[in-house]
């Protein structure tokens, strides 16, 4: 029994190692550099080992995405709970979200841009993703305004943040005035 448990622990440990290494490599050199060969070399195992943990590369991306979604939710909650008043909370949320995208571009891509084989906006959506949306909803529902469905409002606000995050990061928007864009967005969208 104990033997089997030890093996399972080792397996779980190696699986975390794979995900962490993939994430690290992606942040360092971009997802294009995350090949199964390079990944295998970094964890000091052969390629096929990866396939005993994950069905394929997309599942590895998906695992990084789930890990990232959990962190994103935590970052958003930490920022909002540290702020006082609805207006300040929303601003803090926006900055926390955009900072996360800036600081973890590869993880952000894994969550929202790449195909990690994850289901969104459905019943079988993985918990971390639902929870990340919930983290946004908690704060944004307060400022949705009368007669506006909180979920719908959150979707729109989130989409705006997502647009700012992605367009800024690929150079479509000059990063200099990021702060003023957030200010404008919060000013107009949130009803305090």
Interface with a copy of itself, residue 158, by CB under 8 A: yes
How many CB atoms within 10 Å of residue 135? 23
97-136 positions binding a copy of itself, by CB under 8 A: 112-113, 119-121
Q: CB-wise, 14 or 181, nearer to a copy of itself?
A: 181
- Using CB atoms within 10 A of its CB, is residue 184 exposed (0-12), middle (13-18) or buried (19+)? exposed
Token pair in block for residue 109: 């891509």
Tell me, what DSSP letter sits at residue 155?
A: H
Q: Binding marks (x or -) toward DNA, 33..62, rule CB under 7 A?
A: -xxxxx------xxxxx-xx---xxx----
Q: Which of 33, 82, 170, 192 binds a copy of itself (CB under 8 A)?
A: 170
Look at residue 179 and give the partner it binds from a copy of itself, DNA, none, a contact being a CB closer than 5 to 8 Å depending on partner kind. none
Strands (E), 16-107: none
Token pair in block for residue 7: 């093996």
Look at residue 57 and give the partner it binds from DNA, a copy of itself, none, a contact being a CB closer than 5 to 8 Å depending on partner kind. DNA
């Amino acid at each position: 029994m104990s033997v089997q448990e030890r093996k399972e622990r080792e397996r779980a440990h190696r699986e975390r190692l794979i995900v962490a290494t993939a994430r690290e490599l992606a942040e360092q050199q971009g997802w294009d550099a995350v090949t199964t060969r390079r990944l295998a070399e970094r964890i000091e195992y052969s390629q096929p080992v990866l396939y005993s943990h994950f069905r394929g590369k997309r599942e590895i991306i998906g695992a990084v995405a789930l890990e990232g979604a959990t962190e994103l939710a935590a970052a958003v909650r930490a920022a909002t709970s540290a702020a006082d008043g609805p207006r300040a909370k929303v601003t803090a949320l926006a900055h926390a979200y955009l900072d996360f995208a800036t600081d973890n571009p590869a993880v952000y891509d894994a969550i929202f841009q790449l195909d990690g084989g994850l289901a969104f906006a459905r019943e079988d959506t993985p918990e971390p993703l639902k929870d990340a949306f919930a983290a946004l909803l908690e704060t944004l529902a307060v400022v949705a305004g009368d007669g506006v469905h909180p979920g719908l409002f959150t979707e729109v606000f989130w989409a705006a943040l997502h647009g700012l995050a992605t367009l800024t990061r690929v150079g479509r928007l000059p990063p200099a005035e990021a702060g003023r864009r957030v200010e404008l967005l919060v000013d107009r969208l949130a009803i305090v």
